[in-house]
């Protein structure tokens, strides 16, 4: 591959080291092979998940008419939508305050604290959230999951919104004020429309993080509030069935669709400058 | 001093603006006072960092003065937010709304003032015609060239017919030809609309050609306010003389005084007659400013080492610039028009005779 690029090679560049291509290939195989197998076997005709017995989509049909799966999917959807909406609104407000609120004491500390949950081990957050609910005597169920999801979705929603806002000239908002727009009109007609791609991107990220979450959900879900990942986990304990493959494949497809859309929307951000 | 003459479009009184506090404080404006008349094309001219933008931003309301007062047509405005000031700004980098079309950009101020749809459309079209951009009405700002964006920024600020228009180096991003064309257009626009223009630039030629009056600023202070001719011909101090055009600074002593006029001798025996400033008397060391084009060169048959001699000649197209040693190690620059084709009239090493038109030299306040 590197032979085709006519770039000058100056000195030793690790990326050009012979054999590097092989490693890269190995890395990608290692990364994606399990998923390829998973997707392939979701089209398996057999009753046992690991033995290939010909192509069929019958397990898709079986999965879709399964009441338990339908319930779990609905729960996942409700939780993800609620958590996404609340988290995105809060993240937008936080980004506005941190990027436009001027200097205030604790500004950089706040910035760190909004994004800290990204690197805190999820199990720690999960235990902490569970203890918190236990201490205040909060009934575990859909609502507790929604609250927990909202919390860990905020930083994911926050990052793209803030990136967009940082790239937006304050000149634009001043120009709006100069042209007789009050604070609300400035937000409504200038800031918000320009910020919109960042908000949509943040919301999509939050949504997919919520749908995919397992550990925290496992901790704070009560009886009857089963999400798709919890359901899959429950089924796997009884052995890997073709249905598990099917649900996983569907979730994978949704994730890929969202992430792709997210990248497209983020990439549109280059027209944000006022000149 | 807290009332202001209502015929002034803008009165700035003893305004101080500091950014930050403590040891890192930057004083962007250091006690600035200026009165700008209605219908005036007023220019703030000065080097980078002298506080021009800061003064505009205080007027527009994006910043609050640390001290002092600002009046708009006699009304004190420091406490008004930007959207309540009848002032519009053409931003240095245009700040066009990227998600709106040209039309929507221009109509934005009108929409915010709750004009009706047909009224907005009429004014937008009228303003588009004014800046000759009718055919671009439905484009987005990214689909326009720099010069076109500049016109739209101007149109957007003009559409609400503000009482005062603030322009922050609006021509700086344009190429030379376009800049020259826009100069004339801006000047015409200002005359036609009767709006008070406050124009910021660090380009002296721009300031001299467009302005009714110029305020020359440096380091947060206004050094001199006056008509272009006054600023150019009668700079009050070394900074103004140096910043506007080319100037010879000649250090000398006052030789004779009669009434208001002084005679100074520089170099060998060149005599300059100037007005006396600062109450200087005979024997005082003073600085004279002499414009290179105000000195006339004459051929002379005399050859003498005491006479002015040309050290260097530089061909500049329309002119030739000569470095002339006038004795005592004093060197002055003289501009001589190239009336005929080819090199200038004199060559290095030649002796010349220097004469001055009246008032060529000016004594500076230091
Ligand atoms: N927000 C700010 N915070 C701190 N210092 C500032 C701020 N704005 C301006 N200054 C400082 O104030 C001084 C004047 O700045 P200003 O922008 O008014 O200069 P200017 O005359 O417009 O220069 P230019 O021709 O480069 O635009 C500069 O020293 C600048 O660094
Ligand atoms: Mg400036």
Domains B3-237 and B246-363 share a fold: no
Domain limits, chain A: 67-274
How far, in Å, are A45, A69, A154, A228, B290 from residue A64 at the CA level? 16, 7, 31, 12, 93
* H or E segment to which residue B223 belongs: strand B221-226
Q: What is the pLDDT of residues B45-94, one digit of tens each?
A: 999 889 999 999 999 999 999 998 999 988 888 888 899 899 999 998 88
CB B67 within 8 A of CB B18: no
Flag the least confident range among A7-11, A175-179, B206-210, B228-232: A7-11
Shortest-distance atom of ligand 1 to CA B46: 21
Residue A207 has a pLDDT of: 92
Given a cut of 90, whether residue A104 has pLDDT beyond it is: no
d(CA B251, CA B363): 10
Given a cut of 80, whether residue B278 has pLDDT beyond it is: no
Q: Does A269 touch chain B (CB under 8 A)?
A: no
Q: Which residues pair with B322 in a beta bridge?
A: B313, B334
Shortest-distance atom of ligand 1 to CA B63: 1
Q: Indicate the residue of B99, B112, B141 with minimum beta-carbon distance to A179.
A: B112
Superfamily of domain B3-237: P-loop containing nucleotide triphosphate hydrolases (3.40.50.300)
**How far does residue B81's CA lie from ligand 1's centre (Å)?**
21
Q: Is the CB of B53 under 6 A from ligand 1?
A: yes
Given a cut of 90, whether residue B216 has pLDDT beyond it is: yes
Q: What is the dihedral of CA B131, B134, B139, B143, to 10 degrees?
A: -50
Atom 28 in ligand 1: which residue has the minimum CA distance? B49
DSSP at A186: H
**How far does residue B19's CA lie from ligand 1's centre (Å)?**
9
CATH of domain B246-363: 2.40.50.140
Q: Indicate the residue of B62, B87, B142 with minimum beta-carbon distance to A174.
A: B62
Per-residue tokens: B142:
């990214």
Q: Is the CB of B49 under 6 A from ligand 1?
A: yes
d(CA A202, CA A87): 9
Closest CA relative to residue B268, chosen from B299, B238, B304:
B304
Given a cut of 50, whether residue A3 has pLDDT beyond it is: no
DSSP states along B244-285: SS--EEEEEEEEEEETTEEEEEETTTEEEEEE--TT--TT-E
Residue with the two structure tokens 């998923």: A35
Among B87, B95, B105, B145, which would you mutate to test the A interface (most chain A Cβ atoms within 10 Å of its Cβ)?
B95
Percentage of residues in chain B having pLDDT higher than 70 = 96
Flag the least confident range among A29-33, A132-136, B338-342: B338-342
Computed over every residue of chain A, the mean pLDDT equals: 83
Domain limits, chain B: 3-237, 246-363
Query: Going by C-beta distance under 8 Å and a sequence separation of 6 or more, which residues neighbour residue B73?
Result: B6, B8, B9, B38, B163
Q: Which of B25, B54, B170 to mutate to test the pocket of ligand 1 (most atoms within 8 A of CB)?
A: B54
Residue B6 has a pLDDT of: 59
Average confidence (pLDDT) over A140-157: 90
Residue window 156-175, chain A: list those with CB within 8 Å of chain B: 169, 171-172, 174-175
Range among A7-11, A132-136, B272-276, B301-305 with highest mean pLDDT value: A132-136
Residue A81 has a pLDDT of: 94
Residue A91 has a pLDDT of: 93
Contact between B97 and A274 using a beta-carbon 8 Å cutoff: yes
Q: Indicate the residue of B94, B95, B112 with minimum beta-carbon distance to A181.
A: B112
d(CA B36, CA B196): 8
Q: With both helix axes pointing from N to C terminus, report the angle between A67-100 and A192-212 in degrees, rounded to the nearest 10.
A: 140
Q: Does A47 touch chain B (CB under 8 A)?
A: no
Residue B211 has a pLDDT of: 92
CB B141 within 8 A of CB B162: no
Per-residue tokens: B52:
């021009």
Residue A119 has a pLDDT of: 85
Residue A176 has a pLDDT of: 93
Q: Burial level of A172, CB count in 10 A (0-12/13-18/19+)?
A: buried
d(CA B20, CA A139): 51
Contact between B87 and A177 using a beta-carbon 8 Å cutoff: no
pLDDT-derived band at A2, boundaries 50, 70, 90: very low
DSSP states along B135-198: GGTT--GGGS-HHHHHHHHHHHHHTT--SEEEEESTTTTS-HHHHHHHHHHHHHHHHHH-PEEE
Average confidence (pLDDT) over A181-205: 91
Percentage of residues in chain B having pLDDT higher than 90 = 27
ipTM, two decimals, is 0.78
Closest CA relative to residue B253, chosen from B221, B289, B283, B219:
B283
Q: Indicate the residue of A180, A271, A275 with minimum beta-carbon distance to B112.
A: A180
DSSP states along B200-218: EES-HHHHHHH-SEEEEEE
Per-residue tokens: B301:
């048959």
Q: What is the pLDDT of residues A48-98, one digit of tens each?
A: 767 777 888 888 888 888 888 888 889 999 999 999 999 999 999 998 888
Closest CA relative to residue B211, chosen from B223, B221, B197, B224:
B197
Q: Is the CB of B50 under 6 A from ligand 1?
A: yes
Query: Going by C-beta distance under 8 Å and a sequence separation of 6 or more, which residues neighbour residue B67?
Result: B14, B15, B16
pLDDT-derived band at A39, boundaries 50, 70, 90: confident
Query: Counting one residue from A and one from B, how many pairs have CB atoms under 8 Å apart?
Result: 79
How far, in Å, are A119, A156, B124, B162 from residue B118 at the CA level? 55, 45, 10, 20
Residue B165 has a pLDDT of: 93
Residue B217 has a pLDDT of: 93
Percentage of residues in chain A having pLDDT higher than 70 = 90
SS3 content of chain B, % helix, strand, coil (to 5): 25, 35, 35
Within a 10 A sphere around the Cβ of A254, how many other Cβ atoms?
A: 15
Within a 10 A sphere around the Cβ of B85, how many other Cβ atoms?
A: 22
Atom 1 in ligand 1: which residue has the minimum CA distance? B19
Residue A36 has a pLDDT of: 87
pLDDT-derived band at B188, boundaries 50, 70, 90: confident
Q: How far apart are the first and last CA of chain B?
A: 29
CB B37 within 8 A of CB B57: no
* H or E segment to which residue A126 belongs: helix A122-135
DSSP at A7: P
Q: What angle do CA A184, A189, A190 make, to 5 degrees?
A: 100
Report, at the CATH architecture level, how domain A67-274 is classified. Orthogonal Bundle (1.10)
Q: With both helix axes pointing from N to C terminus, report the angle between A142-166 and A122-135 in degrees, rounded to the nearest 10.
A: 130
β-strand pairing of B87-90 with B261-266: unpaired
Q: What is the pLDDT of residues A198-207, one digit of tens each?
A: 899 899 989 9
**How far does residue A18's CA lie from ligand 2's centre (Å)?**
53
Contact between B87 and A275 using a beta-carbon 8 Å cutoff: no
pLDDT-derived band at A13, boundaries 50, 70, 90: low
DSSP at B5: -
Percentage of residues in chain A having pLDDT higher than 90 = 23
For the entire predicted model, the pTM comes to 0.78
d(CA A100, CA A103): 9
Provide the b/e sequence for B240-267 (b: ≥16 CB within 10 Å): bbebbbebbebebebeeeeeeebebebb
Q: Is the CB of B202 under 6 A from ligand 1?
A: yes
């Amino acid at each position: 591959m590197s032979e085709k690029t006519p770039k000058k090679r100056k000195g030793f560049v690790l990326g050009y080291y012979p054999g590097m291509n092989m490693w890269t290939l190995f890395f990608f195989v290692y990364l994606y092979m399990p998923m390829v197998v998973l997707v392939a076997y979701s089209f398996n005709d057999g009753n046992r998940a690991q033995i290939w017995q010909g192509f069929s989509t019958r397990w898709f049909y079986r999965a879709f008419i399964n009441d338990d799966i339908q319930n779990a999917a609905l729960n996942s959807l409700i939780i993800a939508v609620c958590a996404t909406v609340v988290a995105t609104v809060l993240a937008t407000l936080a980004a506005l305050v941190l990027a436009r609120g001027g200097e205030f004491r604790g500004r950089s500390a706040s910035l760190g604290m909004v994004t800290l949950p990204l690197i805190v081990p999820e199990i720690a957050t999960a235990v902490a959230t569970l203890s918190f609910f236990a201490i205040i005597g909060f009934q575990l169920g859909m609502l507790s999951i929604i609250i927990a999801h909202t919390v860990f979705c905020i930083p994911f929603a926050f990052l793209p919104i803030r990136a967009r806002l940082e790239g937006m000239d304050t000149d634009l908002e001043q120009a709006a004020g100069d042209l007789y727009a009050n604070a609300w009109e400035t937000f409504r007609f200038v800031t918000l429309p320009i910020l919109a791609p960042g908000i949509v991107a943040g919301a999509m990220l939050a949504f997919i993080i919520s749908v995919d979450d397992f550990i925290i959900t496992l901790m704070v879900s009560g009886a009857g509030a089963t999400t798709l990942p919890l359901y899959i986990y429950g089924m796997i304990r009884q052995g890997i069935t073709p249905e598990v493959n099917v649900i996983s494949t569907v979730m994978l497809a949704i994730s890929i669709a969202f992430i792709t859309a997210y990248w497209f929307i983020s990439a549109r951000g280059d027209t944000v400058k006022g000149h | 001093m807290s009332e202001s003459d209502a015929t002034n479009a803008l009165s700035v009184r003893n305004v101080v603006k500091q950014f930050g506090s403590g040891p890192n404080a930057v004083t962007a404006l250091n006690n600035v006072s200026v009165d700008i008349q209605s219908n005036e094309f007023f220019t703030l001219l000065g080097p980078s960092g002298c506080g021009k933008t800061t003064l505009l931003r205080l007027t527009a309301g994006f910043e609050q003065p640390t001290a002092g007062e600002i009046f708009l047509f006699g009304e004190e405005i420091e406490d008004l937010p930007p959207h309540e000031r009848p002032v519009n700004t053409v931003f240095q980098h245009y700040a066009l709304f990227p998600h709106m079309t040209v039309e929507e950009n221009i109509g934005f101020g009108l929409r915010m003032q709750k004009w009706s749809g047909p009224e907005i459309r009429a004014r937008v079209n009228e303003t588009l015609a004014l800046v000759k951009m009718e055919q671009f009405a439905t484009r987005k700002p990214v689909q326009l060239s720099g010069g076109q964006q500049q016109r739209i920024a101007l149109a957007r600020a003009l559409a609400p017919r503000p009482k005062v228009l603030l322009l922050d180096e609006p021509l700086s991003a344009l190429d030379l030809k376009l800049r020259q064309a826009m100069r004339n257009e801006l000047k015409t626009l200002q005359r036609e609309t009767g709006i008070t223009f406050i124009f910021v630039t660090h380009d002296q030629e721009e300031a001299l050609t467009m302005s009714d009056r110029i305020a020359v600023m440096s380091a947060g202070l206004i050094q001199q306010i006056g008509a272009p001719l006054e600023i150019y011909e009668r700079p009050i101090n070394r900074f103004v003389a140096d910043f506007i055009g080319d100037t010879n600074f000649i250090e000398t002593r006052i030789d004779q005084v009669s009434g208001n006029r002084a005679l100074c001798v520089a170099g060998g025996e060149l005599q300059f007659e100037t007005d006396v400033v600062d109450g200087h008397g005979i024997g005082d060391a003073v600085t004279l400013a002499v414009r290179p084009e105000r000195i006339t060169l004459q051929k002379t048959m005399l050859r003498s080492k005491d006479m002015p001699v040309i050290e260097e000649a530089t061909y500049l197209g329309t002119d030739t610039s000569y470095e002339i040693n006038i004795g005592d190690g004093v060197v002055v620059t003289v501009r001589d028009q190239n009336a005929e084709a080819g090199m200038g009239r004199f060559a290095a090493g030649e002796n010349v005779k220097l004469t001055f038109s009246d008032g060529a030299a000016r004594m500076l306040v230091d």
